[in-house]
Chains A and B, each alone.
Chain A
Amino acid sequence: MRRLSITAVGVLQAIADGFQYGFDIIDQTQLPSGTVYPALGRLERDGFVKSAWENEADAHADGRPARRYYKLTAPGVKALGEAASFYRSMLPAKPRTARG
């Protein structure tokens, strides 16, 4: 399987961390909306996330329309784990502390 891009990992990680709505993911990842939404689209197409509409009643009680939220699927969780460890392995080893 194709490895996830850094952007995709960031978006997945944001969702995993509980930021489930589009603009919340944007705020969390600090990525532009024109990047995050296509990334979400790709992830949903590939089956790594699923989307649904929040409860209408709850939204109306809040005085606004219902928002769409995203959640990780099982393959999404797995892919995030693999990709994250891959990218982590590319980071430089922790600098050694000088002896003495």
Chain B
Amino acid sequence: MLRWCDLVLRAAAPLVPFEIRRDWLREWRAEFAYTAARAARINKPMPIASLPRALGAIVHAAWLRWDQWRVEMIVQDIKHAIRSLRRKPSFTAVVVLTLAIGIGGTTAIFGAVNAVLLRPLPYPDADQLVRVYKAPLKDLERIGGAVSPPDFTDWRRDNTVFAELAAYDNDSLALTGNGAAEQIPTGEVTGGFFTVMGTTPLLGRTITTADDPMGARGVVVLSDALWVRRFGANPSIVGQQLVIDGISREVIGVMPAGFQYPLRSEMWTQLRFSARDLETQRGSHYIQVIGRLKPGVTLDRSREDMRAVGTRLAQDFPRTNRDTTATVQPLRETMVRNVRQSMFVLLGAVGLVLVIVCVNVAGLVLIRSLGRSRELAVRVAMGAGRITLVRALFVESLLLGLAGGAAGLVLAYWATTAIAALDPSIGVPLLNRTRLDTVVIGFALGVAVVASVVFGTLPAWQASGIGDVVTRIREEGGSTTSDPKRQRMRSLLIVAETTLAVVLLVGAGLLARSFDRLLSVDLGFSADAVQTFNIALPDARYAQPLQRQAFVQALLERAATLPNLESAGAVFGLPLSNFQFGISTSTRDGVTLSDDEQDALTLQIRLVTPDYFRTMGIPIVKGRGFTAGDRIGAQPVAMLNQTGAARVWPDLDALGHHLQIGTRFGMGGERAGGTVIGIVGDVRDYGPASPAPPTLYLSHAQWPDGGVSIVAKARNGDPASLVQPMRALLQELDPDVPMSAVRSMQQLSSAAVAQPRLSLVLIASFAGTAMLLAAIGLYGVLAYAVGQRTREIGIRLALGAKRGEVLRMVMTQAGRLAITGVALGLGAALLASRALRSQLFEIAPTDLLTYVVVGVGLLIVALAASWIPARRASRIDPLAALRHD
């Protein structure tokens, strides 16, 4: 036992400061010897408890070391470090700036990741919130899938796992009176909604199940934003009546700032189902369902429960529910699944930049510490041990790291503010919550410290060996920097930097190629000079189809008199507005289709006015377009896009054939549909990456819906110039019908690729930074090496070497490093680019052209960076060089 204890003591001893090490060892040994002697006196072995006591010696030793350092470090090292950094302001500035870029960038992206993926959602006990979907049995992981009111009602009644289950629908309703009419994004919610969300109102009360019955009076809850913006935060708003979509509703409450669900909602009204809805709408899937799990219920348990409920409904209602069930997904998962991977790719990319920054700074610190050999040697001569020297250099690195971190935070503050202000149309939910909170600041601090360790430790350790080198200088009269070990270290840093830069450049290259492909996709319409906006006619005052048709027609007729208007049309379901209205085909040429056939022939339905196709530049490839005569009372007509025609009549020409779909647009009588009079070109409604859906166009004058988008083409090429005159026309026709979602088609096209564009811009800027850093690193190392080899090169020149040979020698050295780095980088990129696969459009992660361009490009940059030091080497004056050093 005594031996074991002694072993521990000897292991811990090097930690103890040298001056007191002997006494320390003597004291501990004496105590153990005393323990052993006392035990021996009563013929017992040394107690086993001695071993943990010996482990305490390690703590003691560490404490002694720390105690000594504490004083020295705080007083001496920091003072010394600050002094030495101030002596080299340009070095300090370059390092702090480089670090600021790395730390600031990483922190900003982490801030976004934190907002979207990590921070709890802004609702109480948000981990209990789930979405419930109707999903096909063969795709249970699917997110999305609207629910029909009868299914929702049965789910709510039959489940045993939810504290509350609620339905909602996103809508946009016109708020009139109290100022100009305005279209407000609205959540229509059932009574349980606010119970599910768990947020208490700022004023008044929320909608409850008592408000659910059809007979209950209309109520509305305002968001804080709307309350402030529209009503000046009037505290007596509760109890007032508002006219919403032509119906008077009582304000019953105001939600606190920050409460937002469905995202972007500014007010909430009732979502109600009549007894008839619940009887007839089992096949109409249009509502969303959200629930709060009972405390203690796991996700798996809730899935099992809802699966059982879904199975029973499938048995009871096979026509609508066959092969489907109910699935449960955590709320956050439903919001972020699509963006998670791209966010992690971004974080990884910016992390690589940070590593490059560290490598670069390590190179700078290393070179600088070698330049300080005399100072370090003096310190060694004065008795500083290796650990002390490492510590001193490390404190310097830490100071640099913290300064870089502070500057990085300033950058990150600016960047997070910019990220939070990004247009929501890029489709990353919760991004507007990005800010520098304590977690993000803590992250930046952690990164700064870790970075200091990374870039400070190795060079410090290497430089601390300077003591030995000093001896060697004396013995050999050589130069410290021709030491092959140190040279190898610097070369290694350059290779590492180049490798990482190549990985980032390949990523950026792939995204750029993919983006180029996306932009070159023909969307099927011409976005030039087309302005769009939405109008929604309030149901209360435009209950009759003819009223709706007359309003839209009147608006378009008056618009036609505007001098700057080339043409205008209306459409229910604007391209690129993420509008989905898929209805199954019920009869084809008078023959009722089977359920399976009906589902297979689900068509996107669009209602358009005659001039819509001309305004949008969508070609009519066969037959004719709609005319003013295709109105209520006339023979019902229809048009298909090419994909739709090929889907419904794969072997025939669709012209002249007849089809009907499974809806009447609430107009009674026949199902919507008609004789196919024309075929139009395909339109990629959901952006360039999604193929055009099979689409059925119907004449708006035959099936007039009250919610349409107006498209108007400007003669002068400036679509925005049409907004004001159109707004005035609308005001004249009905001041209570607001204009909303005012955008040009160009803006919509641009928004459709906003997310890939953002990814590309970010990754490309990371890659650019990485390349610049790698080039600077290479330049620095070569310049330094040439400086140190001045004498050697001078001798070579004096002995008859040609200047071209010297140039070649330096360039070869650079080229070897660059080629190694590029080769390793291309290999690493081949592995890493797989993470990008889901973000690439029509480009393989192994795209040869990208790899070749990046490889060659980086080599050229590397050689360019080496050119200056190489040329300097070749111009060395042999006589001056021989006097050097």
CA A22 to CA B33, docked complex, whole Å: 13
**Given A23-B35, A38-B63, A63-B37 in contact, is the A68-B57 Cβ separation under 8 Å?**
no
Q: Is B27 an interface residue (CB 8 A)?
A: yes
* Dominant SS among interface residues on chain A: helix
Identify which of B27, B52, B58, B63 contacts A67 (C-beta below 8 A): B27
Among A35, A36, A68, the one with the most B-chain Cβ atoms within 10 Å of its Cβ is: A68
- Kindly supply a per-residue 1/0 record for chain B positions 758-793, scoring 1 wherever the CB is within 8 Å of any chain A CB and 0 otherwise: 000000000000000000000000000000000000
- Kindly supply a per-residue 1/0 record for chain A positions 30-64, scoring 1 wherever the CB is within 8 Å of any chain B CB and 0 otherwise: 00111111100110010000000000000100111
Cβ A33 vs Cβ B57 within 8 A: yes
A22: which B residues are within 8 A, CB to CB?
27-28, 31
Cβ A34 vs Cβ B56 within 8 A: yes
Q: List A residues 62-95 near B (Cβ within 8 Å).
A: 62-68
Cβ A64 vs Cβ B37 within 8 A: yes
Q: Is B450 an interface residue (CB 8 A)?
A: no
Cβ A67 vs Cβ B34 within 8 A: yes
Q: Is B29 an interface residue (CB 8 A)?
A: yes
Count of A-B contacts judged by CB separation below 8 Å: 68
Cβ A32 vs Cβ B56 within 8 A: yes
Cβ A65 vs Cβ B58 within 8 A: no
CA A59 to CA B56, docked complex, whole Å: 24
A21: which B residues are within 8 A, CB to CB?
31, 34
Q: Is B64 an interface residue (CB 8 A)?
A: yes
Q: Is A14 an interface residue (CB 8 A)?
A: no
Closest to B36 in A: A64
Cβ A34 vs Cβ B58 within 8 A: yes
Cβ A65 vs Cβ B30 within 8 A: yes
Closest to B53 in A: A33
Q: List A residues 7-39 near B (Cβ within 8 Å).
A: 21-23, 26, 32-38
A45: which B residues are within 8 A, CB to CB?
67
Cβ A37 vs Cβ B37 within 8 A: no
How many chain A residues touch B (CB < 8 A): the figure is 22
Identify which of A41, A59, A63 contacts B64 (C-beta below 8 A): A41
A32: which B residues are within 8 A, CB to CB?
52-53, 56
Nearest CB on A from B59, distance (A):
3
Q: List B residues 407-463 near A (Cβ within 8 Å).
A: none
Q: Is B26 an interface residue (CB 8 A)?
A: yes
Nearest CB on A from B89, distance (A):
39
**Given A22-B27, A33-B53, A41-B64 in contact, is the A65-B33 Cβ separation under 8 Å?**
yes
Identify which of B30, B57, B63 contacts A66 (C-beta below 8 A): B30
A26: which B residues are within 8 A, CB to CB?
53
Cβ A41 vs Cβ B63 within 8 A: yes
Closest to A33 in B: B56
Identify which of A33, A41, A62, A67 contacts B67 (C-beta below 8 A): A41
Q: Is B60 an interface residue (CB 8 A)?
A: yes
Cβ A38 vs Cβ B60 within 8 A: yes
- Kindly supply a per-residue 1/0 record for chain B positions 57-86, scoring 1 wherever the CB is within 8 Å of any chain A CB and 0 otherwise: 111100110010000000000000000000
CA A64 to CA B35, docked complex, whole Å: 10
CA A97 to CA B195, docked complex, whole Å: 53
B23: which A residues are within 8 A, CB to CB?
68
Cβ B63 vs Cβ A68 within 8 A: no
Among A23, A32, A66, the one with the most B-chain Cβ atoms within 10 Å of its Cβ is: A23
Q: Is B297 an interface residue (CB 8 A)?
A: no
A68: which B residues are within 8 A, CB to CB?
23, 26-27, 30
Nearest CB on B from A53, distance (A):
8
Cβ B33 vs Cβ A34 within 8 A: no
Cβ A64 vs Cβ B57 within 8 A: no
- Kindly supply a per-residue 1/0 record for chain B positions 6-37, scoring 1 wherever the CB is within 8 Å of any chain A CB and 0 otherwise: 00000000000000000100111111011111
A37: which B residues are within 8 A, CB to CB?
56-57, 59-60, 63
Nearest CB on B from A68, distance (A):
5
CA A97 to CA B63, docked complex, whole Å: 48
B31: which A residues are within 8 A, CB to CB?
21-23, 67
Q: Is B55 an interface residue (CB 8 A)?
A: yes
B52: which A residues are within 8 A, CB to CB?
32-33
**Given A21-B31, A21-B34, A38-B63 in contact, is the A65-B56 Cβ separation under 8 Å?**
no
**Given A21-B34, A41-B67 in contact, is the A65-B60 Cβ separation under 8 Å?**
no
A23: which B residues are within 8 A, CB to CB?
31, 34-35, 53
Nearest CB on A from B679, distance (A):
85
Report B's interface with A, CB cutoff 8 A: 23, 26-31, 33-37, 52-60, 63-64, 67
Report A's interface with B, CB cutoff 8 A: 21-23, 26, 32-38, 41-42, 45, 59, 62-68
Query: What are 20 A-B residue pairs whose CB atoms fall within 8 Å in the complex?
Result: A21-B34, A22-B27, A22-B31, A33-B52, A35-B56, A37-B57, A37-B59, A37-B60, A37-B63, A38-B67, A41-B60, A41-B63, A45-B67, A63-B37, A64-B33, A64-B37, A65-B30, A65-B33, A67-B31, A67-B34
Enumerate the 10 nearest inter-chain pairs by beta-carbon distance, A residue then B residue, closest first.
Answer: A33-B56, A34-B59, A34-B56, A37-B60, A38-B63, A67-B30, A64-B33, A33-B53, A68-B27, A65-B30
Given contacts A22-B27, A34-B56, A34-B59, 17 further A-B contacts (CB under 8 A): A22-B31, A23-B31, A33-B53, A33-B56, A33-B59, A34-B57, A34-B58, A37-B56, A38-B59, A38-B64, A38-B67, A59-B30, A66-B30, A67-B27, A67-B30, A67-B34, A68-B23
